[in-house]
Chain A
């Protein structure tokens, strides 16, 4: 038995938001849409350049015999940055508070005021995504969500044009 846990992405305005469950990629670009094609929506290398924010959550639709889900972590597990490229997030190990989906929205393409932390590049020492506003929160009912995880690609005018390196993000959780 195992819980059913997926990563879902939400796009659009608050009033007309669209959720995509079990996303197949986290491609970032110049459009507020899930599973976008980067070649169609490139990020412009410019001063203070950014992709659209990604607003994503863990979605628990079945506990599968487990009593709770907790210890949520995210990190970049592979993929080197190019010149003056980076990824920002709201994931953090301390000073945490839950983000709220933009209202009226939608997510923005300018420098995010929510994703202000550097995405970790190794497994964090503890949970860095919260549940119900707490990093030690737990999910015990379905269908339930984690707090929002916000990710944004950052570039500058010095980031070389062309393909960025492929990256992989690891999402981890515990069932008990």
Chain B
């Protein structure tokens, strides 16, 4: 099974490209489409054309689109902070940052979130009703 590819298209760049952790904040308002290509589940969300495609392979089949109403960019900067407790811990604290970037919209009267959870440890995709 191959590795998933995460492709974005943004307004200020002419071509789609892989997403990078470093540039989430500056491009977050420009996101136009988000595509996952994978062997098992692939999807594409297009902001301007207001559709979501989900299908079962690396090739996106455009005939399988679903209309998505009220489609908006979904962005969160997620911060986790550890604080230690224990006999000998006097100072243990670290902050980790990750990003959630994608879209939220309504498909058949249900709110759907489609976003990538991007951290320095890697990228995961999420299709769910709750964040």
Contact = CB atoms under 8 A, between A and B. Distances in A.
Interface of A: 1-3, 5, 7, 23-28, 35, 37-39, 66, 71, 77, 79, 125-126, 163-176
B89 interface: yes
B87 A39 contact: yes
B122 interface: no
- Report, nearest first, the 7 A-B pairs whose CB atoms are least far apart: A166-B86, A163-B87, A175-B77, A174-B76, A167-B85, A172-B80, A24-B91
Interface in B25-59: 25
Given A39-B87, A171-B81, A174-B78, 4 more contacts: A26-B85, A170-B80, A170-B82, A175-B76
Contacts of A1: 25
Interface residues of B, number: 24
B86 A23 contact: no
Given A24-B93, A168-B92, A5 B86 contact: no
B130 A25 contact: no
B7 to A, nearest CB: 23
A165 B86 CA distance: 6
B89 A7 contact: no
Given A1-B25, A71-B131, A166-B88, A25 B79 contact: no
Nearest to B86: A166
Interface of B: 25, 75-93, 97, 100, 130-131
Contacts of A24: 83, 90-93
B77 A66 contact: yes
A117 B46 CA distance: 43
Nearest to B93: A24
B86 A164 contact: yes
17 contacts: A1-B25, A2-B77, A25-B83, A25-B90, A71-B76, A79-B85, A163-B86, A163-B88, A166-B85, A166-B89, A167-B84, A168-B92, A169-B85, A170-B81, A171-B80, A172-B80, A172-B81
B83 A23 contact: yes
Given A25-B90, A25-B92, A168 B75 contact: no
B107 to A, nearest CB: 21
